Amino acid sequence: MNVLFLGYGKMGSALGEAWLSNGLVKRLVAVDPGRPQGVKAEVLGSAAELDETSAFDLIVVAVKPALAREAIVALPQPSLDGAIVVSIMAGVTCAELSAAAGLRAAVVRAMPNTPVMVNQGCTGLFSATLEDPARRKSLQTLFEAVGIAVWLEREAQLDAVTAISGSGPAYYHLFSEALADAGIALGLPAELARKLAAQTARGAAELQVQPQADFITLRQTVTSPNGTTAAAIAEFETEEKLRQLVKKAAQAARDRSIELSQPS
Ligand SMILES: NC(=O)c1ccc[n+]([C@@H]2O[C@H](COP(=O)([O-])OP(=O)(O)OC[C@H]3O[C@@H](n4cnc5c(N)ncnc54)[C@H](OP(=O)(O)O)[C@@H]3O)[C@@H](O)[C@H]2O)c1
């Protein structure tokens, strides 16, 4: 598979370098004005350096959303014809992508998250124009190389995926920060508190992804009646404080995702 990346920053390079390392793509060209160093991809500073007749099976658009159109229309038209254009950009709709790429390209939206950098990502995929099951499966396989990947039925579901798994890593990082701060307040050295919070997050996540694991049973396993965990959980659960806060936060992220998709 011949792949072109527009934008080879944090997310683009995490995906592209993993695909090259796993041998999933044969040739990978990345257009990025920052010309990232020390990567396996062939890097070009601008689309003008592409051969006019270059053809790619897959074009991944991984620039900031505001630069989407500019990056796509800079490509020579033959490279777009018949290609699958996959956008990982938040809030750039299929309609906008098709308008920029032309009707002969199949357009896919993907919403990955930063754990793709350690092959533990989640990616939601949506397309109204890529119908061939074999092409859909091969695209899913690429994203599965860096975690899990699922096809969504409706484009609007991408706003929910953005709010849960796209932004989600930041919620867990914030919780770890708060837990480490609580540890410091209880008298632990800062470095130790940070290490305990991070390793606890990793251990809990590992338990959560075991087959047949369910969140409630896992929580109950730690929570003996009237014990220490029960005392803490009672604080989180008073008037469902934590649950209500998480719901409100996710709704705010979903609403912002919708707002970003509106034409400016
Ligand atoms: N970070 C996340 O958690 C996350 C999750 C899911 C999706 N996304 C999406 O992923 C996209 C990229 O995010 P990121 O965090 O990887 O950003 P990033 O690290 O800033 O990467 C974007 C790259 O695109 C380059 N670029 C700018 N203009 C370009 C152009 N016209 N053609 C080609 N490349 C161009 C930038 O170069 P310069 O720096 O030199 O301008 C930069 O290297 C965003 O649209 C975001 O919505 C991010």
* Tens of pLDDT, residues 119-151: 999 999 999 999 999 999 999 999 999 999 999
148 contacts 121 by C-beta, under 8 angstroms: yes
**Residue 150 CB: number of other CB atoms within 10 A?**
15
For ligand 1, what atom is nearest to the CA of residue 71? 31
Q: Give nearest CA residue, ligand 1 atom 43.
A: 9
**Residue 95 CB: number of other CB atoms within 10 A?**
13
pLDDT digits over 66-92, tens only?
Answer: 999 999 999 998 889 889 999 999 999
Give the strand pairing for 84-87 and 2-6.
unpaired
Q: What is the domain partition of the chain in residue ranges?
A: 2-158, 168-260
In order, the DSSP letters of 127-194 are -SS---HHHHHHHHHHHHTTEEEEE-SSTTHHHHHIIIIISHHHHHHHHHHHHHHHHHHTT--HHHHH
pLDDT bucket at 262, cuts 50 / 70 / 90: confident
Q: How far is the CA of 9 from the centre of ligand 1 (A)?
A: 5
Tokens of 120: 């533990």
pLDDT digits over 110-120, tens only?
Answer: 999 999 999 99
Q: How far is the CA of 89 from the centre of ligand 1 (A)?
A: 8
Q: Give nearest CA residue, ligand 1 atom 46.
A: 89
Mean pLDDT (the chain, rounded): 96
Length, in residues, of the chain: 264
For ligand 1, what atom is nearest to the CA of residue 68? 31
Q: Three-state DSSP class for 106?
A: strand
Q: Three-state DSSP class for 74?
A: coil
- Fold that domain 168-260 belongs to in CATH: ProC C-terminal domain-like fold (1.10.3730)
pLDDT digits over 230-259, tens only?
Answer: 999 999 999 999 999 999 999 999 999 999
Q: How far is the CA of 91 from the centre of ligand 1 (A)?
A: 13
**Residues with C-beta less than 6 Å from any ligand 1 atom:** 6-12, 31-34, 62-65, 67, 70-71, 88-90, 111-114, 166
CATH class of 2-158: alpha beta
Q: How far is the CA of 7 from the centre of ligand 1 (A)?
A: 5
Q: How far is the CA of 64 from the centre of ligand 1 (A)?
A: 4
